[in-house]
């Protein structure tokens, strides 16, 4: 029998159930930064880059399973949809700011930090935001994390940023938390990623969600993980699924070429 399509809401639900049966507890990034995690856990994170309604569908699936997760929203209209944000927060999930201020302000540090303050205050009307996460902005020459070379996000009441507080370099990195992301519409697509990268020893090499489910059932996954999804990649509707499948193939080719040129 042929397997059903990957990256559907049903497959996502199967993954969560398999992880729960394997003994994992799920926490928001805010809970992690507050020291509320146990010895076998998953930090479940969603970068809402596009198609905000898809994130609400995922949030409902998680809520039905008693899972809380973290949703990072961008300022762009495709992500920043107040009714969606409010509904996700009402389900008990954490809301965070998916910042890209340095790219938006074309490298102007002072303008970028002012823009950051304004957008953080805006999103805080929906949720008392305590964590943030950079948006990779693959088409920009600017790395949004560089904003913190001159400023300190802690001064804005922020207690955590994954790329600094989990996946920082050297001694700053938390070496026993492994990273899984659906970048490239696969789980080992780091070769297509321009900035969503962590230390090599923290990456896991699984391609399909089916492989992840099998690994969870066989207890082959690490004790501590952050799993990141991009909700626009997960759909219950065939035409939307097909569009994302085709477009992601094109984007992967472009990103691969950019990565090769940079190296």
Mean confidence (pLDDT) of the chain: 88
Task: Note the pLDDT of residue 1.
Answer: 35
Is it the case that residue 179 has pLDDT exceeding 50? yes
Residue 20 half-sphere exposure toward CB, CA atoms < 13 A: 13
CA 7 to chain centre: 15
Task: Note the pLDDT of residue 197.
Answer: 60
The band of 236, judged by pLDDT with boundaries at 50, 70 and 90, is: confident
User: Which secondary structure element, helix H or strand E, spans residue 54, and what is its range?
Assistant: helix 52-64
| Contacts within 8 Å (CB) and 24+ apart, 235-244 | 235/7, 235/8, 235/9, 235/54, 236/8, 236/9, 236/10, 236/57, 241/5, 241/7, 241/8, 244/7, 244/185
| pTM for this entry | 0.88
Q: Which fold has domain 9-262?
A: TIM Barrel (3.20.20)
Mean pLDDT of 73-102: 98
């Amino acid at each position: 029998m042929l397997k059903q399509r990957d990256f559907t809401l049903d497959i996502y639900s199967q993954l969560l159930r398999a992880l729960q049966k394997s003994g994992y507890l799920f926490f928001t990034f805010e809970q992690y930064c507050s020291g509320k995690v146990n010895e076998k856990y998953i930090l479940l994170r969603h970068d809402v880059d596009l198609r905000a309604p898809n994130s609400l569908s995922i949030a409902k699936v998680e809520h039905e399973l008693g899972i809380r997760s973290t949703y990072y929203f961008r300022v762009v209209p495709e992500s920043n949809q107040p009714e969606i944000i409010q509904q996700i927060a009402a389900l008990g999930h954490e809301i965070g700011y998916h910042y890209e201020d340095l790219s938006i302000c074309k490298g102007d540090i002072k303008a970028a930090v002012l823009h950051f303050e304004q957008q953080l205050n805006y999103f805080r009307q929906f949720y008392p935001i305590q964590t943030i996460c950079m948006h990779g902005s693959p088409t920009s020459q600017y790395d949004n994390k560089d904003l913190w070379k001159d400023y300190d996000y802690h001064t804005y009441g922020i207690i955590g940023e994954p790329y600094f507080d989990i996946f920082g370099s050297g001694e700053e990195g938390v070496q026993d938390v492994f990273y899984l992301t659906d970048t490239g519409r696969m789980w080992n697509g780091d070769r297509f990623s321009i900035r969503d990268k962590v230390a090599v020893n923290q990456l896991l090499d699984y391609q399909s969600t089916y492989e992840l489910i099998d690994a969870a059932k066989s207890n082959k996954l690490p004790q501590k993980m952050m799993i990141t999804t991009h909700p626009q990649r997960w759909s219950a509707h065939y035409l939307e699924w097909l569009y994302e499948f085709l477009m992601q193939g094109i984007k992967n080719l472009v990103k691969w070429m950019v990565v090769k040129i940079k190296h």
